[in-house]
Amino acid sequence: MQVGFTGGWLDRVDHLRGNAEAVAALLGDWRAKLLKLDGGDPALDADGKLAWVSIADAAPDGEAILLGLDGGGKPCFAECRPGDVGGPARSLALFRMLEMLPAGEAAIFGAARSLTGWHARHRFCANCGGPTAIYRAGWARKCPACAAEHFPRVDPVVIMLAEFEGRALLGRGAPWPKGRYSALAGFVEPGESMEEAVAREVFEEAGVRVSNVHYVASQPWPFPGQLMIGAFATAESDVLTIDTNEIEDAIWVTKDEVRAALAGQDAPFLPPPHYAIAHSLLEAWVRNG
Amino acid sequence: MQVGFTGGWLDRVDHLRGNAEAVAALLGDWRAKLLKLDGGDPALDADGKLAWVSIADAAPDGEAILLGLDGGGKPCFAECRPGDVGGPARSLALFRMLEMLPAGEAAIFGAARSLTGWHARHRFCANCGGPTAIYRAGWARKCPACAAEHFPRVDPVVIMLAEFEGRALLGRGAPWPKGRYSALAGFVEPGESMEEAVAREVFEEAGVRVSNVHYVASQPWPFPGQLMIGAFATAESDVLTIDTNEIEDAIWVTKDEVRAALAGQDAPFLPPPHYAIAHSLLEAWVRNG
């Protein structure tokens, strides 16, 4: 199943990250490349792929994050600069780029965006309040005062289609583009399984009890750093009790309506973009019958 | 499929957490209960279930975390005390208790342990270094200086059985009890799907390429706060190249050997405890044929 933000082809060379000498050698490699990011957004080259510059263009006071080695063995870096804030803001230009970017390119951008944003928002030690320093080639930070190690966050989120008698439940967030509906979603909390989180979230947001939760696929989502876990579930009723603090509206849609929406035809809702796993879930749902 | 640390029956009442008045009323409820924890370990009552005390026994300078409401509507809390360090240390006594604790009780303990430990290790703002305060009834912390909100971490981890011609790959960590082998596992990183993390980890730890990754089940793991995502995969070879920085050893085991190990009979390895999802994965694997 094809999902967005997957298929990055860099070798992440985890075994080298903790080796300061090896990382210094990669940084000193004249072939080393730096991903071009502008306020967290990628730049595209003439072929519509991610643009890279030489590591020589890195800021002298920036922190270099080793994304990995490309197929030719060239070291690939991203950098976090002192003024970066790592906010979750997304521009219209970014949305347009994501519409065009191949999934594998988006995966590499996604890793870079998640990591640079995490560094920008985690310059201090949550354990003691002191300033932290980059560690393990950008895959951690370490506190020189209390020795605590901190690792980039990946927050698991469940995203699901609950089905009741041939119709699937979609919801919309208040700030979304007009007409857009998508799969319900929510963060997995401490002390619950993926399956329990699916049931809790659908009940919290729409007042619907579900069972029979089935995993479908997963996707990294770099705004700022989620692991989206996509699932199907069976609803016990189609009576909605919407929590308007969580979603603005929810609707039940048929497979024909979803097919029309995905095909860009006249439909009761605008579907999520192709690079969102909700799109992949809808495609998988209409394919099954 | 029965997995450990699932089936907690508290209503998490997410909709009340942000309502300071409602939370104060729950704290003032004379029926309110406080989970008895001793250095992060649970206490058991005469029935072998989690022991609770009255909220009146809470420390005056502790932070109260709303776990949820029990079936009778009684508010249930855990507390984080100023001196708590929230370390990952696990005692032998804890292991023995987990052997006996029903999964639903372990789920409630797990949520409490993850949350109290997270609070203890996150008293300062990672964004600006200032002290943070408990927020949303213990399901967040907030920085009064920079207004950043911080949420409890749940780190997704993949844990998997790679199969090659009827045998499954197990590994062991150096500090484990003698003879213990379990499923390989590793943290999902920014910019990769669950399926990609499975393939990367098996290759990093054992040098084996896998494909055909299938989700099996998930489990929260409260040491300190993982979401374990269990999967099967197909190995392309049984030639091992072990990274001894990650695992001490790896072996291929047959279904008969796994059946013997799970039954406590003579076998080439000691299996993981029943409350670990690796145990559930092994059970599922031998059931399939």
In angstroms, the separation between the Cα of residue B90 and the nearest Cα of chain A is 17
Is pLDDT above 90 for B91?
A: no
Query: How confident is the model at residue A219, as a pLDDT?
Result: 98
Q: Is the pLDDT of residue A14 over 80?
A: yes
- The band of A289, judged by pLDDT with boundaries at 50, 70 and 90, is low
Same fold, A14-150 and A155-287: yes
Asked whether the CA dihedral A183, A185, A209, B14 is positive or negative, the reply is negative
CA distance B24 to chain A (A): 21
Is A193 close to B6, i.e. CB distance below 8 A?
Answer: yes
How far is the alpha carbon of A286 from chain B, nearest alpha carbon, in Å? 21
Which CATH architecture describes the domain B155-287? Alpha-Beta Complex (3.90)
Distances (CA, A) of B88 to A56, B41, B196, B199, B222: 41, 11, 27, 27, 9
pTM of the complete model beyond 0.90: yes
Nearest to A173 by CA among A98, A245, A232, A271: A245
State the CB neighbour count (10 A cutoff) for residue A289. Answer: 6
For an interface test with B, which of A69, A109, A160, A194 has the most B Cβ atoms less than 10 Å from its Cβ?
A: A194
Per-residue pLDDT tens digits for B96-114 = 999 999 999 999 999 999 9
Confidence of residue B160 (pLDDT cuts 50, 70, 90): very high
How confident is the model at residue A84, as a pLDDT? Answer: 87
Which amino acid, B46? A
Q: What is the pLDDT of residues B240-258, one digit of tens each?
A: 999 999 999 999 999 999 9
Provide the pLDDT for residue A89.
74
**pLDDT, mean of residues A198-223:** 98
Read off the pLDDT band of A93 (50, 70, 90).
confident
Q: According to CATH, what is the number of the domain A14-150?
A: 3.90.79.20
Confidence of residue B88 (pLDDT cuts 50, 70, 90): low
CA gap B83, A76 in Å, rounded: 43
Tell me the mean pLDDT in the region A4-24. 96
Percent of chain A with pLDDT over 90: 92
Judged against a pLDDT cut of 90, whether residue B131 lies above it is answered with: yes
Q: Hey, are the CB atoms on B191 and A115 less than 8 Å from each other?
A: yes
Q: In B, which residues are within 8 Å of A215 by CB distance? A: 215
Determine the pLDDT at residue B289: 62
- What pLDDT is attached to residue A88? 65
Rounded average pLDDT over A270-284 = 97
Lowest average pLDDT, out of A35-39, A139-143, A187-191, goes to A35-39
Sort out which chain B residues have CB atoms less than 8 A from A243's CB and list them: 15
The pLDDT assigned to B54 comes to 97
Where is average pLDDT lowest: A79-83, A253-257, B213-217?
A79-83
Residues of A in contact with B12 (CB under 8 A): 189, 200
Which of B3, B148, B193 lies closest to A6 in CB terms? Answer: B193
Average pLDDT of chain B, as a whole number? 96
- Domain boundaries defined on chain B: 14-120, 155-287
> How far does the CA of residue B97 sit from the closest CA of chain A (Å)?
17
Q: How many CB atoms lie within 10 A of CB B82?
A: 10
Residue in chain A lying closest to B243 (CA): A15
When CB atoms are compared, the residue of B8, B118, B218 closest to A194 is B218
Q: Which element (helix H / strand E) includes A219?
A: strand A210-221
pLDDT above 90 for B122: yes
Mean pLDDT of A193-213: 98
The whole-angstrom distance between residue B92's C-alpha and the CA centroid of its chain comes to 17
Would you state the pLDDT for residue A280?
98
